[in-house]
Amino acid sequence: MEANIQDIIEITTSRSLTYQQKLFNLANVSERLISPVEILGYTNEEMKYINNQMICDLNEGYALYKPRYIVPDYNVYIEKGCSFLELEPPKNLDECLDGLLIIYSHVPSVTSFPVFIGHLDRLIDPFITDENKDYIKIKRFLNHIDKTITDSFCHADIGPYETVAGRLILKAVMELKNPTPNMTIRYDKDKTSREFAKLAAKSCLLVSKPSFSNDAYYTKDVGNHAICSCYNALPFAGGAYTLSRLRLGTIVKAVKSLDELISELLPKVSKLMLSIMDKRNTHIVEKSNFFESNFLAREGFIAKENFTSMFAIVGLADAVNYLLKLEGLEETFGKSSRGDEIGHLIMKSIEKEVNAHIGKYISRTNNRHLLHAQVGADLHEEDKNNTPAHRVRVGEEPTFVDHLKHSASFHSYFPSGTGDLFALDQTYVDHLDSVVDIIDGAFASGYRYITTYLKNTDLIRVTGYLVKKSEVEKARGDNPVLRDTTWFGSGTDDNAHVFDRLLREQEDEVTNS
Amino acid sequence: MKLPIHRIIPFSNVEGIGNRTSIFVQGCNINCLYCHNSETIPKDFTSVHLFTVEEMIKEIKANMPFIRGITVSGGEPTLYHKFLIDLFNEAHKMGLTCYIDSNGFFDKNQINDLIQVTDKFLFDVKGIGKSLNKLCFSNFLLENLNSVKMKSERFTISQEHISNLKYLLSLNKIEEVRLVYLKGYYNEEKVIEVIANELKNYPDIPLKIIRVHARGLTPSRAKALKGHIPSKLDVEKLNKLAYSKGIQQINYIL
């Protein structure tokens, strides 16, 4: 969306934004003061579909000067240091953690905060000498990140192998109960020990992280990668230039039939969005001088050959529900076999367009933009009609097992990331084997990514990132809050009621048989 | 042959290790005062589902690959030992483990074929001695159980259920031993001693002590428990006693 002078006045006079949030918002507005027609060469037709809200650019900006997501190879620092920041290679844990914190403050992204801070256990483990003393350092390091990287799209990875550092990180995460960093365990039951998986599952229940990624599956699709931001699987030492999304719940309202949607409108809007994305990639590579000037590129932390871009969807459930109604069925997505059929026809139509299109500057992913299941946003009235990703609408969830099977069938479309979340009851904390069994079952069924959290905790996962419910209440009371993601969480809960996901509980079965 | 099913819980994490499908059969051979599933006691099959093995397998298969096994509870599963042999053989073919949650009041020779195809038992020790008559074998509140009287001699005098526990332990078929703790019906110290004596050669097998509670009971059952519910302190004391008698793995639920 283009910005205007009024936006600047609103930001500068806001009583609830912190200084830093105002600064970053002003920078974002300035990128959107310039028309994309002028600077990126968008056509009138492309503009029409942005303005009618079918295509959403997530306010990414038009005067682009950095890739949206950057996934640095922090091993470069461990091995060679960083000459731009005048850092020698670290010789001990203190230097390692200190150097990483310094680098983090110089890693750009769409939020101006790093969306990937490394495979932390692999980076740290070689420097561990004394578990007790090093634990204190690791905990302090993680707390420092939470208070200075005030955006919970910041993501750390651990696993798949169990390490001392990995265990200490999980212990610290459970004690700190902080939203940031977001965290994923790259899980592979052939590589990850059962004990480490159970520890991660416990942490995920208690503090909503780490989530579990199906490491073998993502490695097959994306090769050498990392999980960053919400749950984006992106090429390692690279990232993604841009993310644009189709609002399927909005698009569907313009058609009279399923056939019109999948044979005419979706192919048309998909082609327009692919063209828009190519223009964005091209501008960053050819015009912004990012790769020529940025130290991460100059020193080998990233290479432009390792970038892709993300073609995302939201609102599959809303689109399907609309069409079910059109067909005279009183059913909803997630509880309807016809709904599943329609959902797959929609996704296959989009997938066909995305796979047929040769994209610009994305040779790393076979010149293809990667499909992504976007977790939603609150940028426009239309976002109320677009449930996150391919998720079932909150309130319309099927039983746990049916839900797992239903969503598993949709994960395959999204090589650059998707995931489902389940709110579990307290009994699972004492029965972690059950949680890991469910995760193993989900991955065997085609899941890419899963999060299981306890419904009654303060720290919860909104859609792909974490917020504290207590902080959201603060924000709703018009008070300044540290993290920008608290604002996103508030908006997403207003639209999608994500705090009220169905609790998966068992009956109180005291076996007095 | 059909199995009377009271209820199936697709995902259960409290009936044995891992995520399991729990199958609650209708019909019990005893009538515990504190039974929280007392609707499963009568062998009255008019309002329950009757499943063939094939139908059961279909229900179970729907929960794969998220479960590692099934647990049959109830009611008393061993009443249906012939049916369960076929069910377990089929479940094993699908790679699932098969558990039984039993009160131990069975004739081990009669159900031996079932024992052989059962991976693990969750074994409830209801108590020992004459108190069992009142606690488990009475027709109190349920007039249709003639069979309970037959139990009295075998289990209150000869303690056949404890021999059954011994037998299952010797076959490595016990997953956990449970004791629902209530006061005034049995001598808890003696019960703990008996259990400790059986578990002494099996230090890895846990005892789960469950504090009886009246939540969700029918009013008449709740009334019968009045004055018999142990305090949390009592449970902790029993836990300590169990340790002192040499039981090494103890969980207790307050």
Instruction: Determine how β-strand A116-119 pairs with β-strand B97-102.
Output: unpaired
CB contact under 8 A, B14 and A506: yes
Q: What is the pLDDT of residue B156?
A: 79
Task: Tell me which residues of chain B have a pLDDT lower than 50.
Answer: none
Assigned token pair, A27: 């920078």
For range A457-462, the mean pLDDT: 76
Q: Name the CA dihedral angle for B2, B6, B9, B15, rounded to a multiple of 10 degrees.
A: -90
Write the DSSP symbol of residue B22. E
Question: For residue A228, what is the enclosing H or E element?
Answer: strand A225-228
For range A18-40, the mean pLDDT: 95
What is the sign of the dihedral through the CA atoms of A122, A126, A130 and A136? Answer: negative
The band of A167, judged by pLDDT with boundaries at 50, 70 and 90, is very high
What is chain A's mean pLDDT, rounded? 94
Q: How far apart are CA A17 and CA A475, in angstroms?
A: 10
Q: How far apart are CA B110 and CA A390, in angstroms?
A: 54
The band of A510, judged by pLDDT with boundaries at 50, 70 and 90, is very low
Assigned token pair, A169: 């990180």
CA distances from A171 to A430, A465, B83 (A): 17, 20, 47
> Which segments within chain B are labelled E, that is strand?
3-12, 20-25, 49-51, 69-73, 97-102, 120-124, 174-181, 207-211, 250-253
Q: What is the pLDDT of residue A497?
A: 79
> Exposed (0-12), middle (13-18) or buried (19+): which is A427, by Cβ within 10 Å?
middle
Question: For residue A504, what is the enclosing H or E element?
Answer: strand A503-504
Lowest mean pLDDT among A366-375, A381-390, A455-464: A455-464
Q: What is the pLDDT of residue B145?
A: 54
On the question of a cis peptide bond just before residue B10, with omega within 30 degrees of 0, the verdict is: no
- For residue A460, give the amino acid letter: I
- Nearest CA to B212 among B189, B230, B195, B191? B230
Question: Is the distance from CB of A351 to CB of A413 less than 8 angstroms?
Answer: yes
Strand partners, A314: A247
Three-state SS at B221 = helix
In the predicted model, is pLDDT for residue A371 greater than 80? Answer: yes
On the question of a cis peptide bond just before residue A160, with omega within 30 degrees of 0, the verdict is: yes
Q: How far apart are CA B4 and CA B45, in angstroms?
A: 7
In angstroms, the separation between the Cα of residue A435 and the nearest Cα of chain B is 7
Q: Which residue has the tokens 């995302």?
A: A312
More confident residue, A465 or A22: A22
Give tens-digit pLDDT for A122-152. 999 999 999 999 999 999 999 999 999 998 8
- Nearest CA to B23 among B51, B46, B42, B43? B51
∠ CA A186-A190-A192 to the nearest 5 degrees? 45
Q: What is the pLDDT of residue B139?
A: 65
Is 3.50.50.60 the CATH classification of the domain at B3-191? no
Give tens-digit pLDDT for A276-334. 999 999 999 999 999 999 999 999 999 999 999 999 999 999 999 999 999 999 999 99
- Nearest CA to A78 among A120, A35, A27, A19? A120
> Which segments within A389-438 are labelled E, that is strand?
420-424
The band of A508, judged by pLDDT with boundaries at 50, 70 and 90, is very low
CB contact under 8 A, B40 and A513: yes
In the predicted model, is pLDDT for residue A263 greater than 70? Answer: yes
For range A13-25, the mean pLDDT: 93
Q: How far apart are CA A215 and CA A119, in angstroms?
A: 13
Find, in chain A, the residue whose alpha carbon is nearest to that of B64: A441
- Structure ipTM: 0.89
Q: What is the pLDDT of residue A509?
A: 31
* Nearest neighbour of A508 by CB, restricted to B10, B15, B216: B216
Q: Which residues of A touch B99 (CB under 8 A)?
A: none
CB contact under 8 A, A434 and B76: no
Q: What is the pLDDT of residue B36?
A: 85
In angstroms, the separation between the Cα of residue A445 and the nearest Cα of chain B is 7
Question: For residue A471, what is the enclosing H or E element?
Answer: helix A469-476
* Nearest neighbour of B74 by CB, restricted to A400, A504, A513: A513
What is the sign of the dihedral through the CA atoms of B182, B185, B189 and B191? Answer: negative
In angstroms, the separation between the Cα of residue B1 and the nearest Cα of chain A is 23
The band of A512, judged by pLDDT with boundaries at 50, 70 and 90, is very low
Q: Name the CA dihedral angle for A96, A102, A103, A105, rounded to a multiple of 10 degrees.
A: 150
Assigned token pair, A470: 């207590």
Strand partners, B211: B181
Q: Which residues of B touch A445 (CB under 8 A)?
A: 65-66
Q: What is the pLDDT of residue B146?
A: 60
CB contact under 8 A, A512 and B253: no
Give tens-digit pLDDT for A210-221. 999 999 999 999
What residue segments make up the domains of chain A, in order of their start? 1-33, 41-63+239-397+411-417
**Secondary structure percentages of chain B, helix, strand, coil, to 5:** 35, 20, 45
Q: What is the pLDDT of residue A82?
A: 98
What residue segments make up the domains of chain B, in order of their start? 3-191
